[in-house]
Amino acid sequence: MTDRPLLRMKGITKSFLGVRVLHGVDLDLYPGELHALVGENGAGKSTLMKVLAGVHRADEGAVELDGTPVSFDHPVRAQRAGVATVFQEFNLLPERTVAGNVHLGREIRRRGWVDVRAMERATGDLLDDLGLEGISPRAKVRSLSVAEQQVVEIVKALSQDARIISMDEPTASLADHEVEVLYRLIARLRERDVALLYVSHRLKEIFDLATTITVLKDGHRVDTVAAGDIGPAELVRTMVGRPVSQVFPDRVEPRGERVGEVRLDVRGGGNEQVDGVDLTVRGGEIVGLAGLQGSGRTEIAQALFGMERFTRGEVRVDGRRVDPRSPRQAVRSGVVLVSEDRKTQGLALNQSILANGRLALDAVWPLGARRRSRRIPGILESLELVARGGHGQEVRFLSGGNQQKVVLAKWLAADPGVMVLDEPTRGIDVGAKQAVYRLMRELSAEGVAIVLISSELPELIGMSDRLVVLDDGRVAGELPADSSEEAVMAMATGAPPDEAPEQDPERHDPRTLGGGPPVSDPPENGPRSHPEEAAP
Amino acid sequence: MSTTRPAAERTPRRNPLSMLSGGTATVALLLAVVFAVIATQNPSFFEGPPLMSFARMAAPLVLLAIGQYFVIVSGEFDLSVGSLVGAQVVIAARLIDGDPSRTLPVLALMLVFGLVVGLVNGLVTTVLKVPSIITTLGTMLILFGAVRYWTGGAPTGELSEAFRLAGRGGIEGVPFLGQLPYALIIAAAATAGAVWLMRSSYGRSLMATGDNDVAAAFSGVRVWRVRTTAFVLSGLMASVAAVLIGGFSGVTAQVGDGLEFTAITAVVLGGVVLGGGRGTVVAAVLGALTVEALFTLFTQLYLPATIQPTVQGLIIIAAVAYASRRGDLRLPERLRRRPGHPTERPLGTSRR
């Protein structure tokens, strides 16, 4: 490792629509190192990576490559300068061969014609060099596995003489043995003095692979440490360690008839994304679903709401067995979902507040819609919806908080028994957040069973009566309402040994079979490895 | 208790007459201008009988525009209506063949045929997920070819007088107007019905589907049913229009040619934005009247009728350009969706 960083990012600041997501972040990247970028959801990892890749431009701050200041305003510029990024979605043409993709846009020509053979030879050499003889340069990308496609992305980067490769959750969609291939490839890349920037939620990988770890939190760089100087427990603490500054409204005295009755009961629910989900929510209860992105929180919400289905297990709402195949059936059975993306899934933006508010009634109970919709102005009123144009105003002109209130009003009009709230306060201002919190308290006092999904741990802990922690599509355990953030994060990442409960051994956790860097690390058979074992 | 602040709500530019919003006022103004120009050329135009004959001519287009409105507002297209009208007239002539007693059964058959064509269009679009522009283009060609094959290019048969009554006849002896055409009554009734329908739960669901079919589906709308119904309504409207057109046109293989484009022009001129979710029935009807008035004006100016398609093309482009400058134009949801907030991964959702 040389003393001079290959890449130096200084004081990177970036805002989106007035929300600052990066606050003066510094990052140095040395040749041959793997620099892991960790942090909670929304900490700014991906944004920082995209600034480096030239997808976003930093508002402030400087990037130096080899001591020369650079500013990438386009991904292609970054690539030419030797900075390649492997995103979660690959940018490959499925109908072309591996060689064709590797040389896409830079085809080798001979007398004006594309020299396919030369391209295949060059690609083959590169693949051999990396010890990846298994992939034929002539294979069509469509026929490759996800991991192989990822390899092609990396080879493509290398063929452009990339000196820096950044990867965003590269193992997210890989199976166990495929992760091994990636580990090997990463070791080869480091031998070639390529600097790697690596984002992952999986602590084991980070301790397996990283030489340096930078922790981001709410857009600030908290710390940069050598991987050997920190343990997983301490890392988790650094990731979440924030003062709980938000204040949540007090619980309201329950008054509804159905308080205490089991309103939602999921037994052994499972499909392609989640498995063995047991979830019981009583009227008057707010149950928080905690977990990292991709842990299955949203998938459970979608299955309850009929967007996906549980193919195993059973769901009961108010004691009746239900198997919703569409949102409509879910709504009829009394389950509603406030989805995390209100603009594409929650609202018809060009329609009026009132039209959106009564849409569920119009769609599901057309005969009583007119009568029942008379309540909507009152509901909007109680949500303190503020619209200058009155209730005839189109919702696209409303702020995020008010739009969310319209979505809530739509579902309140349907008198739900079970309400699933997926990131209900995302992108809304503090005042509207408080209104949403108060509404949740009111509803639960009236006997509605509420399932809350949120990436903001303080919110989840502050609002929930009980936390169900998910990890990789399964329930990792339950925690009481007053649990610490560290305990939740630990369970969600499967970090410290004392918190992690026994897991079903039938299902392999991709993390456990990582194999590790070239040093042979016999695959552990335990369902869950403890990062300590993997830490250097 | 309130900490909520009106976080800088942008108030939209609103038309003082909210009834006439969504392009309705614009097209009403345009219609007035065209009528004014017609009046300068032909001062007697607004004396009852010429106006009524204009209404009779415009009625089929009004019906087609209403049908097209339902489809366009749901975010789709129906290109098959012109061919459907042609097919209906030819079939009616052949089946009636001058026998008045067959009039009513044939009328019923026409409605059923229109319903079936609409149902096929709708189901192919929603269930098989073929884009409607392709589906209805296919239906258009199928009907076009089938009619020519069936008739050998020269339609035979004859419509009965009773059949022609709806398109030709009217209530006689109305003061000032002279004859009040049945066509006008039918068109007015259809307009009133469509306005009522759009205010019903179905209409609201249809509008929301055209605006954002994902959000509509997540609110419990059966998107496929709502859209299919719109195609069926379009097919029914085309059937009624065919009855009116049969009343005053000859039975040729050319009946109905290009009517789908005229209907789309009318709807677009009314400010019902392609892509769905906006615009009113009244605007679509006014658009149809404007297009028909323009054609009348051309006749008065001795411009050849052959120039009509060119004018329609200009109107479509100009109207859409105008709408997109005002910021009304929206691409269909599927084209519009972009990656979400950069730190969030967009949630993968199916289109419908």
Q: What is the side-by-side strand order in the sheet with A262-270?
A: A277-282, A262-270, A312-317, A320-322
Q: Mean per-residue pLDDT for A167-185?
A: 78
For residue A502, the model assigns a pLDDT of 42
Are B219 and A359 a contacting pair at CB < 8 A? yes
**Whether residue A173 sits in one domain with residue A125:** yes
For residue B194, the model assigns a pLDDT of 96
Does residue A238 fall inside a structural domain? Answer: no
**Whether residue A350 sits in one domain with residue A278:** no
Share of residues in chain A with pLDDT > 90 (%): 20
Closest in B18, B217, B277 to A392, CB measured: B18
Distances (CA, A) of A301 to A324, A330, A417, B293: 12, 11, 15, 55
pLDDT in tens, chain B (352 residues): 333 334 333 334 443 444 445 568 888 888 999 999 998 888 888 888 888 889 988 999 999 999 999 999 999 999 999 999 999 999 998 888 888 888 899 999 999 999 999 999 999 999 999 999 999 999 999 999 998 888 887 878 888 888 888 888 888 877 877 888 999 999 999 999 999 999 999 999 999 999 999 999 999 999 999 999 999 999 999 999 999 998 887 778 788 888 999 999 999 888 887 777 888 999 999 999 999 999 988 888 888 878 888 888 898 888 888 777 765 544 443 333 333 332 222 333 333 3
Q: Rounded distance, CA B230 to CA B136, Å?
A: 13
| Residue that finishes a domain, picked among A382, A415, A448 | A415
Distance from CA of B219 to the nearest CA of A (A): 5
Are B3 and A355 a contacting pair at CB < 8 A? no
Q: Are A397 and B311 in contact (CB under 8 A)?
A: no
Q: Are B271 and B27 in contact (CB under 8 A)?
A: yes
H or E segment to which residue A422 belongs: strand A418-422
Which pair of tokens denotes residue A512? 């456990």
Does residue A239 fall inside a structural domain? Answer: no
Structure-derived torsion over alpha carbons of residues A153, A158, A160, A165, reported in degrees to the nearest 10: 80
Residue A356 sits in which domain range?
342-415
Does residue A450 fall inside a structural domain? Answer: yes
Are B344 and A42 a contacting pair at CB < 8 A? yes
Q: Is A449 helix (H, G, I), strand (E, B) or coil?
A: strand
A17 band by pLDDT with thresholds 50, 70 and 90:
low
Residue A132 has pLDDT above 90, yes or no: no
**Whether residue A309 sits in one domain with residue A196:** no
Half-sphere exposure of A35 (CA within 13 A, CB side): 28
**Whether residue A347 sits in one domain with residue A429:** no
Residue A520 has pLDDT above 50, yes or no: no
**Whether residue A18 sits in one domain with residue A164:** yes
Q: Rounded distance, CA A252 to CA A209, Å?
A: 49
Q: Are B342 and B207 in contact (CB under 8 A)?
A: no
Does residue A240 fall inside a structural domain? Answer: no
Does residue A510 fall inside a structural domain? Answer: yes
For residue A523, the model assigns a pLDDT of 40
Closest in A56, A386, A389 to B4, CB measured: A386
Does residue A79 fall inside a structural domain? Answer: yes
For residue B337, the model assigns a pLDDT of 37
**Whether residue A408 sits in one domain with residue A451:** no
For residue A383, the model assigns a pLDDT of 85
Q: Are A470 and A492 in contact (CB under 8 A)?
A: yes
Phi then psi for A187, rounded to 5 degrees? -60, -45
Amino acid identity of residue B350, one-letter, is S
Q: Rounded distance, CA A62 to CA A173, Å?
A: 33
Distances (CA, A) of A292 to A202, A296, A455: 10, 8, 7
For residue A264, the model assigns a pLDDT of 92
Q: Report chain A's mean pLDDT, rounded to a whole number.
A: 82
Q: Rounded distance, CA A484 to CA A481, Å?
A: 9
| Residue that finishes a domain, picked among A375, A392, A415 | A415
Closest in B9, B12, B208 to A386, CB measured: B9
**Whether residue A346 sits in one domain with residue A214:** no
pLDDT tens track for A268-283: 888 888 888 999 999 9
Q: Are A408 and A420 in contact (CB under 8 A)?
A: no
The secondary structure of A347-396 as a DSSP string is --TTSBHHHHHTHHHHHH-GGGHHHHGGGHHHHHHHTT---TTGGGSBGG
Could you tell me how far CA A99 lies from the centroid of its own chain?
A: 32
Q: Rounded distance, CA A421 to CA A436, Å?
A: 10
Q: Rounded distance, CA A456 to CA A462, Å?
A: 10
Residue A508 has pLDDT above 60, yes or no: no
Residue A524 has pLDDT above 50, yes or no: no
The CATH number for A139's domain is: 3.40.50.300
Amino acid identity of residue B8, one-letter, is A
Report chain A's terminal Cα–Cα distance, integer Å.
18
pLDDT tens track for A305-319: 998 888 988 999 998
Q: Mean per-residue pLDDT for A182-187?
A: 86
Which pair of tokens denotes residue A506? 């039938």
Are B204 and A341 a contacting pair at CB < 8 A? no
Does residue A1 fall inside a structural domain? Answer: no
Between residues B177 and A263, the one the model is more confident about: A263
Q: Is A14 helix (H, G, I), strand (E, B) or coil?
A: strand
Q: Rounded distance, CA A20 to CA A246, Å?
A: 19
For residue A486, the model assigns a pLDDT of 82
Distance from CA of A397 to the nearest CA of B (A): 6
For residue A18, the model assigns a pLDDT of 64
Question: Which residues numbered 215-234 in A keep a CB inside 8 Å of some CB on B?
Answer: none
For residue B22, the model assigns a pLDDT of 52
Closest in A339, A363, A398 to B9, CB measured: A398
> What pTM, to 2 d.p., does this model score?
0.72
**Whether residue A101 sits in one domain with residue A14:** yes
Between residues A520 and A89, the one the model is more confident about: A89
Most confident of A13-27, A222-236, B137-151, B223-237: B223-237
Are A349 and B344 a contacting pair at CB < 8 A? no
Contacts of residue A241, defined as CB under 8 A and 6 or more positions apart, other chains included, come to: A217, A222
**Whether residue A113 sits in one domain with residue A163:** yes
Does residue A236 fall inside a structural domain? Answer: no
Q: Rounded distance, CA B285 to CA B61, Å?
A: 9
Q: Which of A181, A423, A478, A197 is nearest to A301 (CA)?
A: A423
| Residue that finishes a domain, picked among A380, A415, A450 | A415
Distances (CA, A) of B221 to A340, A358, B199, B204, B212: 19, 12, 16, 10, 11
Which pair of tokens denotes residue A247? 């204040």
Closest in A42, A366, A388 to B201, CB measured: A366
For residue B272, the model assigns a pLDDT of 80
Phi then psi for A162, rounded to 5 degrees? -70, 135
**Whether residue A121 sits in one domain with residue A31:** yes
For residue B23, the model assigns a pLDDT of 67
Are B208 and A88 a contacting pair at CB < 8 A? no
For residue A255, the model assigns a pLDDT of 84
**Whether residue A294 sits in one domain with residue A376:** no
Which pair of tokens denotes residue B26? 């614009």
**Whether residue A511 sits in one domain with residue A433:** yes
The secondary structure of B155-213 as a DSSP string is ------HHHHHHHH-EEEEETTTEEEEHHHHHHHHHHHHHHHHHHSHHHHHHHHHHH-H
A103 band by pLDDT with thresholds 50, 70 and 90:
confident
Q: What is the ipTM of this complex?
A: 0.78
Half-sphere exposure of A342 (CA within 13 A, CB side): 27
Amino acid identity of residue B27, one-letter, is V
Q: Is A272 helix (H, G, I), strand (E, B) or coil?
A: coil
pLDDT tens track for A347-391: 998 889 999 999 999 999 988 888 888 888 888 888 888 776 788
User: For chain A, what is the domain count?
Assistant: 3
Identify from B15, B204, B229, B328 which residue to disrupt to test chain A contact, counting A C-beta atoms within 10 A and taking the largest count.
Answer: B204
Kind of pairing between the strands at A466-471 and A474-480:
antiparallel
For residue A449, the model assigns a pLDDT of 94
Residues of A in contact with B349 (CB under 8 A): 307, 344-345
Question: Which residues numbered 312-371 in A keep a CB inside 8 Å of some CB on B?
Answer: 326-328, 331-332, 337, 339-341, 344-351, 355-356, 358-364, 366-367, 369-370
